[in-house]
């Protein structure tokens, strides 16, 4: 079980280590990039309510995703870990090559980061019987903007007809749309709905996805602050 995770040995020479949590959308971003780029890695899952002391020594914030290199370098924060991987393993680049291309993706991510937690907040507050109309309105605006972006671009994905970094940054939250019964939000965003269908065909998405049942089961515990990090093992 993750709660008693012993301190791991050093990271093997030709590998990289990911400290993760199986249901964390932020850690999934890093897992998507590792898979998409074909990077050799091992995973250690951390019990986020009972973090081992050795992990806090590596990352005092105690957050996942955290990467560790064979040289003992530690990198955390999901967009930072993903950009690091794209630079450290330059084959199969996911970020655009131009400074403006990179900036444009970062701006999109920045806009989205204002509502990404709505995918959790809305269902949690609904369960508590609280009013979520304000949060729902904000999420609708954000999804409409993403849909309009795809309409203007006329491409399958957010930055062309192949998947790039921004698609992987957004994906974990859209994977969880059924977890909180938020699918009706996609009824007014047909291009976003198509994007989601295209993403489901991607090998890295297939390698990291959880079933709707698993997401719902984990969410049930998470919503009452009793997450089962070992669910399904």
Instruction: Please count the other Cβ atoms lying within 10 Å of the Cβ belonging to residue 56.
Output: 12
Omega into 65 within 30° of 0, i.e. cis? yes
Phi, psi of 68 (to 5 degrees): -135, 135
Active-site residue, 82 included: no
Catalytic option among 16, 24, 109, 169: 24
CB 168 within 8 A of CB 159: no
Question: Which residues are paired to 75 by β-bridges?
Answer: 67
Q: How far apart are CA 156 and CA 163, in angstroms?
A: 8
CB 199 within 8 A of CB 171: yes
Q: How many residues does the structure list for the chain?
A: 233
Question: Which residues are paired to 76 by β-bridges?
Answer: 66
Distances (CA, A) of 19 to 46, 216, 228: 7, 23, 17
Kindly list the catalytic residues: 24
């Amino acid at each position: 079980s993750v709660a008693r995770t012993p301190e791991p040995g050093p990271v093997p020479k030709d590998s990289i280590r990911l400290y993760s949590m199986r249901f964390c959308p932020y850690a999934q971003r890093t897992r998507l990039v590792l898979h998409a780029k074909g990077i050799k890695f091992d995973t250690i899952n951390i019990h986020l309510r009972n973090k081992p002391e050795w992990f806090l020594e590596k990352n005092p914030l105690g957050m996942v995703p955290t990467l560790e290199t064979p040289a003992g370098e530690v990198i955390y924060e999901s967009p930072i870990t993903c950009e690091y991987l794209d630079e450290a393993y330059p084959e199969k680049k996911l970020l655009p090559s131009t400074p403006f291309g990179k900036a444009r993706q970062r701006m999109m991510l920045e806009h989205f980061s204002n509502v990404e937690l709505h995918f959790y907040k809305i269902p949690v507050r609904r369960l508590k019987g609280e009013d979520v109309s304000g949060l729902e309105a904000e999420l609708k605006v954000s999804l409409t903007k993403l849909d309009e972006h795809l309409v203007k671009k006329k491409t399958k994905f957010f930055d062309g007809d192949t998947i790039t970094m921004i698609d992987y940054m957004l994906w974990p939250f859209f994977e969880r749309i059924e977890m909180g019964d938020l699918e009706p939000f996609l009824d007014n965003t047909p291009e976003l709905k198509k994007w989601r269908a295209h993403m489901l065909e991607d090998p890295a998405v297939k390698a990291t996805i959880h079933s709707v049942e698993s997401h719902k089961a984990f969410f049930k515990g998470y919503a009452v602050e009793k997450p089962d990090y070992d669910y399904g093992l």
